[in-house]
Every structure is written in C-alpha cells, then in structure tokens.
Structure 1
Amino acid sequence: MSYGKFKSVEEVAIKFDITVSDRTPFVAQKPFEILDIVFEMIAKKLKDDTNYINEFAICDALIRPILDIVADNYPLKVWSHVPYNVDEEKGLVGEPDYLIAAKTKYGAMAEPALCVIEAKKDNFDDGWTQALSEMVASSLLQARICYGIVTTGALWQFGKLENNIFVIDPRYLSATTELQQVFNTLNWMFNQINQVENLQ
C-alpha cells in the first residue's frame, strides 16, 4: 500500500491511532509582499483554462510557482515528486506531489513539515486522505508538527497534525479571487514551519 492507496481519512486515523478533530479555523495570515508583475503573472495563469487540463498542468503552472514564490523567502525547499519511503509495511511509501522541508548539509531532504497535495478531479476528501498519510509518515520521523494543504490550484485548504490530533481548517481560499490571502496564509504557514525547524 502507498500513500494514495488509503481509502479515507478514517482508515488512516484508525490504522495510526490519530484523533480526527472537528474542523476548526486555525490558520492565520502573515502579510506577504510580492512584486506586482509576479502577482499579475500568477493571476493571469489562474484565469487560463489550459492550466487546468490535467493534474500535471495544474501542478506545473499553478501550484509549484505559488509555493516557490513563498519558499524563496525561507531556508526551506519545495521537493517535488521525490521518493518518500518511510515504512513499506505500513503503506507509507510513494512520491508525494510536494513536500516542504529544509535541506540537510548532506544535500538530502530533512523531515517534511508540510505536505501539499493536488486534489485530483477536485476531490478534497481523497486529497486529505493522502495528505494525512504523508503527515503521519513525517510524524514517525519525529516531526513535532506537520501541516498539510490540499489544492486544486484555484481552491486551497489547510490542515495540521500535532500530537496525534488531525484538524482541517474548514475555510477554502480561492486563488482566483483571494490570491493575496493565499500568499499571506502560505507565508504564515512557512513562517510557522521555519520556527519549528529552528527549535529542533
């Protein structure tokens, strides 16, 4: 079994004894300054139908550029489709869409503190199932807290796993109408991750 093979959040929660909390707002915003020309470029991409024709287009044209713009302000890297094989017997293997983690002095990926999933066919339930399994894998590698994002490129939703408690923020942010808020929220989340990394 791999990350994408789990059928539901409940299945992952039962297998790894995770408490699934009621959906509760928890994300905040940290103002993010972005050059007008870059902001306008992303906004234009979000309105272009050709960027939504398949999951590869969504990942390459929308999700990755947005993540990169924020990551460039932190000592964190966007790791794309890299092997993340934590425990084969438990089904925690595969190549996640995106993992956000520091780079070790040996050039490898440190424990991911953020897992980003492209919501295939706009299915957020399946997206959160995969995200939670990846977040569990990170916790098994001693990550104190791990955040998750499920996104269609246009819609973004945020979650976290801390002390074996999983919570999803019920709010969706629309990158097409709330792009600055998406950047502000990502900036807040990257800042939280950076603080945790510095404490370890």
Structure 2
Amino acid sequence: MAYSDFTINDIKKTFAVELIEDQALFTDVESQVPPQWLSDFLEIHLPLADAIGTEKAKSEFIVAPILSAARELLERQISLFSGIEFTVDKEQGLTGRCDYIVSRSRSQYSLSAPVLALVETKNDRINAGLGQCMAEMIAADLFNRQEENELTTIFGCVTTGDLWRFLKLQLVNGQRTIFIDTKQYFVTQVDELLGLLKSMVQ
C-alpha cells in the first residue's frame, strides 16, 4: 500500500482519525499581493496548463510557481520539495512520493523536520485526492515525532491547479483530528492563496 491507495474510509479505519467537515479553517487571513513575476507567469501559463490538461502541466505551470512565490514572501523561512520519496512507515502504508512537501526548516538540500504541509495535484477531482493527502499528513506527523521536532498543526492541500481545498491535522484530546475546509479557493484568488499559505507558517 502507498499514499495514493488510501481512501477517506481507509484513513478512518486504519488510523482512528476523526474527521471534521463543517468548519472554515481560515478566518481573517490577510491577502498577499502576488509578485509581478507570478502574475505575469500565470497570465501566460494558466491557459496553457488548462489546454494540456494533465496533472503534470498543472503542477508545473500553476502549483509550483504559487508555492515558490509563497516561499519568497516568507523570506525563505521554509523549504519546498517536489516529487521526493517520503517513506515513513512501510507497514502502515505510509510510503510513496509526494507532489510537494513544505518544511519549516530552511535546509533545502535534504528534507528536515518539521514537515509543515503537503500539497497534492489532481487532474480534475479534488475529492479523489483527499485520502492520499490525509495519509501524507499523518506520515508527516509521525516523521516529525520520530525526529523529535513536532508541530501541533500540519496542513494539507489538494488542488487541480484551478481549484484548491485545504485540510488541517491537529491532536484534539489526544486523538488525531483532520479538518476539511468548507471553503474552496480558485487560482484567480491567488492573493488569498498566498495569504493562506503564509498564515500556515506564522
């Protein structure tokens, strides 16, 4: 089993996770003016990514530039990894490659704890990627514990490039609880997206 094999039901059964689906995760988040290079890049490449229509195109032409811009807004306080192997516990199926991993460590040449967020790109169905993203978030929590560098909150995101949905993992009364944001964001709201991504670190 690997991250991509997990469904939401698998997550609930395997890891005894409670799901909360009726809460807005972000309130009073300050939007961030996108850098001019990002606005120019998206203006050119959004139509191209949509025309190609593959996960790879959307990942390269939409998701990666937005995450990179967020890293710059945070003055490189975070590190960003794309497509790396993230094997944490083979017996539990917490193994495989992640589209994007964000760490609060500045170390960019190798992944270091604490892992803060996981982002998965899907071609057209957000819901199809939720189980996978949840598995990666649980793996990040376990990885941080193994490295003795825990975080109280770990974020996740599943995106089609055009549409973004966020998740949050927290320990509530000693139990892992995953919140699925009631709101979805569009890439045309890139100022809000950058604000959300920045708020995860602060």
Range with greater deviation from structure 2 (132-141 or 99-108): 99-108
Give 1:57's aligned amino acid: A
TM-aligned CA deviation for residue 44 of structure 1: 3.4
2 CA distance for matches of 1:145 and 1:43?
A: 33
Identify, as 1 or 2, the structure richer in strand: 2
Range with greater deviation from structure 2 (22-31 or 46-55): 46-55
1:181 partnered with 2:184: no
CA 1:21–1:47: 2 relative to 1, 3 Å: same
TM-aligned CA deviation for residue 103 of structure 1: 4.0
Aligned-pair identity in percent equals 23
User: Which of 110, 117, 135 does residue 114 from structure 1 map onto?
Assistant: 117
1:29-62 residue CA offsets vs partner (Å, 9 max, x unmatched): 2332333343232233223355642111111111
Q: Which residue is equivalent to 1:198? A: none
Q: Gaps (5+ residues) in structure 2?
A: none
- Secondary structure (helix, strand or coil) at the match of 2:90 reads coil
Q: Gaps (5+ residues) in structure 1?
A: 193-200
1:167 partnered with 2:169: no
1:14 partnered with 2:13: yes
CA 1:86–1:37: 2 relative to 1, 3 Å: closer
1:125-145 residue CA offsets vs partner (Å, 9 max, x unmatched): 221110000000111122432
Show the 5 A alignment for 1:51-62. 52-62=52-62
RMSD between superposed Cα atoms in Å: 2.0
CA 1:35–1:107: 2 relative to 1, 3 Å: closer
Query: Number of paired residues?
Result: 188
1:78-132 residue CA offsets vs partner (Å, 9 max, x unmatched): 1011110000010000010000014476943123110001023x12222111000
Q: Which residue is equivalent to 1:78? A: 80
TM-score, with normalisation over the residues of structure 2?
0.84
- Secondary structure (helix, strand or coil) at the match of 2:92 reads coil
1 CA distance for matches of 2:160 and 2:192?
A: 16
- Secondary structure (helix, strand or coil) at the match of 2:166 reads strand
